[in-house]
Structure 1
Amino acid sequence: MYQQMIFVNLPVSDLDASKKFFTELGYTINPRFSDDNTASVVISDTIVAMLLTQEFYGTFTKKEIADATRTSEVLVALSAESREKVDELVDRALAAGGTATGETQDQGFMYGRAFDDLDGHTWEIVWMDPAAVEG
């Protein structure tokens, strides 16, 4: 069966710092799709974050590029396999230079925390009890 993929393209101000940040979270950089302007961050088999220098990102749009430290242009939400994995990933992001954002969401069957990366893009990490999803 065909697995549809998502490529989230994000402008970054310092490509090397952003690559270091995401590798410190445990993700890998795919060198086949990375160069001096782009880093392909493999999040899973079907999710890739494409980090683009501001200048290169600008070649894909005629719109003003949002400054994610001042405005919200997107909330990227990723699932986690457990509450502990939510905490582990967010804690690694904070240790790597990310910033905690929002309040911890704990509704029993669902648990989530969020962080902003080095450029202010918000990443929400969420666990949901599989029994709640099924029923």
Structure 2
Amino acid sequence: MSVRARGVHISLPIADRVSSMRFYLDTFGFETVGEPAEDGVPEPLMFRVDQHTVLALIPSGGLGFVLGDSRALAPTGTSECVLGMGVATEQEVADLAERIGNAGGRVLAEAEDRPWGYTALCADPDGHVWQISVET
């Protein structure tokens, strides 16, 4: 029996709500979900990635609360997953990697042809790794 997901929610720990919101608005242009709280940031901070995917950025303490005592957050700088985003052209890969670097993220591997396609590897300000690739 297969599961029919109505949507996928990805939750990542962050250090600062305001800077994380600005980073994801400025680099990816994702649409925020919900009304702004007193600090001008929706609570919880969520972005609509596409019709079925939501990215939630949760302060580390809050995500630790959700995980409970059975599991600790990974130490800062540790990547437990790689988020992937497909774009249409090599130029879009290069442009997005440049925006990420200019907005306080890091380019970990410059855009280039790899055995699996044209791709760049980048990190957001909290160290979450994004692989940006041409999707065929």
- The CA deviation at 1:4 is 4.4
- The CA deviation at 1:6 is 1.9
Match of 1:133 in 2: none
- The CA deviation at 1:77 is 0.8
- The CA deviation at 1:88 is 1.6
- The CA deviation at 1:86 is 1.1
* Percent sequence identity over aligned pairs: 22
The question of whether the paired residues in 1 share the 8 Å contact of 2:93 and 2:111 is answered with no
Moved over 4 A (4+): none
Is residue 66 from structure 1 mapped to residue 74 from structure 2 by the alignment? yes
Tell me the distance in 1 between the aligned counterparts of 2:76 and 2:49. Answer: 21
Q: 1:11 aligns with which of 13, 17, 40?
A: 13
Which amino acid counterpart does residue 9 of structure 1 have in structure 2?
A: S
Match of 1:91 in 2: 98
Tell me the distance in 1 between the aligned counterparts of 2:108 and 2:34. Answer: 31
Match of 2:83 in 1: 76
Matches within 5 A, 1:1-135: 4-25=6-27, 26-31=29-34, 34-35=42-43, 38-62=44-68, 63-69=71-77, 71-107=78-114, 110-128=117-135, 130=136
Which amino acid counterpart does residue 32 of structure 2 have in structure 1?
A: I
The question of whether the paired residues in 2 share the 8 Å contact of 1:8 and 1:49 is answered with yes
Tell me the distance in 2 between the aligned counterparts of 1:22 and 1:86. Answer: 16
- Corresponding pairs, count: 125
The question of whether the paired residues in 2 share the 8 Å contact of 1:68 and 1:121 is answered with no
The question of whether the paired residues in 2 share the 8 Å contact of 1:98 and 1:117 is answered with yes
Which amino acid counterpart does residue 10 of structure 1 have in structure 2?
A: L
Relative to the length of structure 2, the TM-score reads: 0.81
Over aligned residues, Cα RMSD in angstroms? 2.2
Note the residue ranges of structure 1 that are not aligned, 5 or more in a row.
Answer: 131-135
Give the match's secondary structure for 2:84.
strand
Tell me the distance in 2 between the aligned counterparts of 1:51 and 1:109. Answer: 29
- The CA deviation at 1:103 is 4.8
Q: Residue 103 and residue 8 in structure 1: after superposition, are their counterparts in 2 closer, same or farther (change >3 A)?
A: same
Give the match's secondary structure for 1:65.
coil
Which amino acid counterpart does residue 90 of structure 2 have in structure 1?
A: R
